[in-house]
């Protein structure tokens, strides 16, 4: 299991972001499919009904990650906005599939875990526990799974996505 050391500031930020998102849903000011709130760390088939419905009915901004093609696509409803080549988790540290949402955003943070300690990781958007979309300045192997489970982007691509997405932006990750 992946272990991440988080600072008190990061934990407060995550708690605030999740609380604010839940408040928006409770007030009815944000239409979000109920299934998307489920944090799913289990593998789902590509044709899972939730993913197909999400693709067909989603309004507003959302992010799709295709692990088999190592591609991330930013969508606005049914319109493709931009696509990026990414690097996701290695076979022994896979990126989880399922439906998620951006839980918190950090312009820069330190990431630590078993076998790595990387300072100043840019444009970080956590979506499930220690899993995040973020810039990766320490490698140039995009298109190949090389991470410990996170979704790595080139720094410029990560900056664009970080500025485009907000807390609560849905993320669909599939094989």
Residue 78 CB contacts under 8 Å (≥ 6 apart), including other chains: 56, 58
What pTM, to 2 d.p., does this model score? 0.71
> Residue 48's pLDDT is what?
56
CA 106 to chain centre: 13
Q: What is the rounded CA–CA span in Å between residue 89 and residue 93?
A: 5
116: which residues sit within 8 A by CB, 6+ positions away?
148
User: DSSP class of residue 142?
Assistant: T
| DSSP character at residue 97 | P
The CATH homologous superfamily for domain 8-174 is L,D-transpeptidase catalytic domain-like (2.40.440.10)
Structure tokens given for 71: 């591609």
Q: Check residue 115 and give left, alpha or beta (phi > 0: left; psi -120 to 50: alpha).
A: left
User: Taking the domains of the chain in order of start, what are their residue ranges?
Assistant: 8-174
Rounded CA separation 162/146 (Å) = 21
**DSSP strand pairing (98-101 vs 151-153):** unpaired
CA gap 116, 119 in Å, rounded: 10
pLDDT at 23: 40
Q: What is the DSSP string of 24-51?
A: HHHTT-S---GGGGS---S---TT-HHH
pLDDT in tens, the chain (175 residues): 444 545 545 544 544 444 444 443 333 334 333 333 334 444 444 455 455 555 545 799 999 999 999 999 999 999 999 999 999 999 999 999 999 999 999 999 999 999 899 999 999 999 999 999 999 999 999 999 999 999 999 999 999 999 999 999 999 999 9
Q: What is the pLDDT of residue 26?
A: 38
DSSP state, residue 121: E
Residue 4: closest CA among 97, 115, 134: 115
Given this model, what pLDDT does residue 155 score? Answer: 98
């Amino acid at each position: 299991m992946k272990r991440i050391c988080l600072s008190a500031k990061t934990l407060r930020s995550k708690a605030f972001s999740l609380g604010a998102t839940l408040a928006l849903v409770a007030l009815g000011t944000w239409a979000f499919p109920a299934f998307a709130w489920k944090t799913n760390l289990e593998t789902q088939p590509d044709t899972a009904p939730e993913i197909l419905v999400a693709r067909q009915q989603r309004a507003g901004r959302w992010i799709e990650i295709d692990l088999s093609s190592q591609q991330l696509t930013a969508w606005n409803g049914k319109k493709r906005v931009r696509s990026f080549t990414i690097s996701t988790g290695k076979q022994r540290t896979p990126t989880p599939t399922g439906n998620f949402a951006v839980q918190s955003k950090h312009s820069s943070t330190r990431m630590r875990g078993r076998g790595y300690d990387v300072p100043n990781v840019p444009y970080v958007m956590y979506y499930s526990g220690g899993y995040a979309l973020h810039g990766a300045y320490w490698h140039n192997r995009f298109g190949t799974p090389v991470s410990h489970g996170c979704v790595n982007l080139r720094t410029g691509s990560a900056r664009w996505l970080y500025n485009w997405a907000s807390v609560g932006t849905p993320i669909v990750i599939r094989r």
